[in-house]
């Protein structure tokens, strides 16, 4: 998939970071969500590459990026570490300042990237999330039932890892197929890629650590930002699916306005997996928000 893009691999602190890049224009970093890979962008990246220099990467623990061992404080899978991965990838491509388009877990990485390295992020478009701390603090029964994996994956090892690793493909299909549209929106080759990567040794441990970090050290970092009165000051746009859970369970714009100065956003006619369910609408939003114009 995405054969028109060039593959890259680099290392940061011993962790392999894999992805693809291509296009022309202003630099734009794309970050995927769970339980997926950079292949989530297969319907939008070729169009974005007409006006952007697109860099897609697999988050650590996902795709063909590395899967570092767990540590007691979940530091290695903190969004702060993942943000440093993203920064390293963009700098390796020669970009010190860039736009960010990110979905789901990748959007949480993007939030930390913008908070810790505001000089690097020119503007940011986040898909189908509210701030992590706010989502935990405002959890309802409806949210917990829909996002059951949030609470399953953070349980102490080794049970979650063992259950995921026993049938990784089934786990992927259960999470992704449990949304309003089922597995219908996903191209067979994309779904096969997600299942392939979920079966790579160490993935079950890595995704559990990603979520354990979100429920522990990532919340500490968020609370520190709030206590210090720090808010994002770059333009932020947030989009969510009209048929998704996030918009039903949370006041998305109000929660983001507690964390950022300049926030706009709204719904798209889809569910959670915006890049695969509403690619044309997303591309139009990206062109508009990032002020992209065709390149000669």
Tokens (6 digits) for 274? 């915006």
Q: Judging by DSSP bridges, how do beta strands 263-268 and 52-57 pair with one another? A: unpaired
Q: What is residue 216's three-state secondary structure?
A: coil
Q: Judging by DSSP bridges, how do beta strands 52-57 and 26-31 pair with one another? A: parallel
HSE toward the beta carbon, residue 80, CA cutoff 13 A: 15
Interatomic CA distance for residues 92 and 102, integer angstroms: 19
- Residue written as token pair 């063909």: 64
Q: What is residue 15's three-state secondary structure?
A: strand
Residue of 34, 42, 221, 272 with catalytic role: 272
Q: How far is CA 42 from CA 30, 110, 200, 251, 278, in A?
A: 11, 20, 21, 30, 12
Which candidate, 121, 98, 108, 135, places its Cα nearest to that of 31? 108
Displacement of CA 208 from its chain's centroid (Å): 15
For residue 229, the cross-strand partners are: none
Residue of 58, 85, 104, 218 with catalytic role: 104
Interatomic CA distance for residues 79 and 114, integer angstroms: 11
- Residue written as token pair 């860099």: 55
Q: Is 296 a catalytic residue?
A: no
Helices 168-177 and 188-198: crossing angle in degrees, nearest 10, is 130
Interatomic CA distance for residues 16 and 206, integer angstroms: 14
Q: Is 9 a catalytic residue?
A: no
Active site residues: 104, 272
């Amino acid at each position: 998939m995405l054969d028109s893009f060039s593959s890259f691999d680099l290392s940061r602190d011993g962790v392999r970071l894999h992805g693809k890049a291509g296009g022309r224009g202003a630099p734009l970093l794309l970050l995927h969500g769970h339980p997926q890979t950079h292949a989530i962008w297969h319907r939008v990246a070729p169009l974005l590459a007409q006006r952007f220099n697109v860099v897609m990467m697999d988050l650590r623990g996902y795709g063909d990026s590395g899967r570092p061992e767990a540590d007691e404080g979940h530091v290695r899978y903190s969004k702060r570490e993942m943000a440093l991965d993203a920064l390293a990838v963009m700098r390796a491509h020669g970009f010190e300042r860039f736009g960010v388009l990110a979905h789901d877990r990748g959007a949480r990485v993007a939030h930390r990237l913008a908070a810790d390295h505001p000089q690097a992020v020119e503007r940011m478009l986040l898909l189908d999330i509210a701030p992590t701390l706010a989502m935990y603090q405002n959890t309802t029964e409806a949210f917990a039932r829909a996002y059951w994996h949030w609470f399953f994956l953070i349980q102490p090892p080794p049970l979650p890892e063992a259950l995921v690793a026993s049938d990784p493909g089934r786990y992927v299909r259960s999470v992704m197929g449990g949304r309003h549209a089922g597995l219908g929106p996903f191209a067979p080759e994309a779904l096969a890629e997600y299942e392939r990567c979920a079966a790579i040794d160490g993935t079950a441990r890595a995704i559990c650590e990603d979520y354990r970090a979100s429920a522990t050290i990532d919340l500490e970092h968020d609370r520190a930002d709030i206590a210090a009165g720090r808010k994002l000051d770059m333009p932020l746009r947030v989009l969510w699916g009209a048929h998704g859970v996030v918009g039903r369970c949370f006041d998305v714009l109000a929660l983001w306005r507690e964390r950022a100065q300049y926030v706009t956003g709204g719904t798209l006619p889809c569910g959670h997996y915006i890049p695969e369910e509403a690619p044309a609408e997303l591309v139009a939003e990206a062109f508009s928000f990032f002020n992209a114009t065709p390149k000669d």
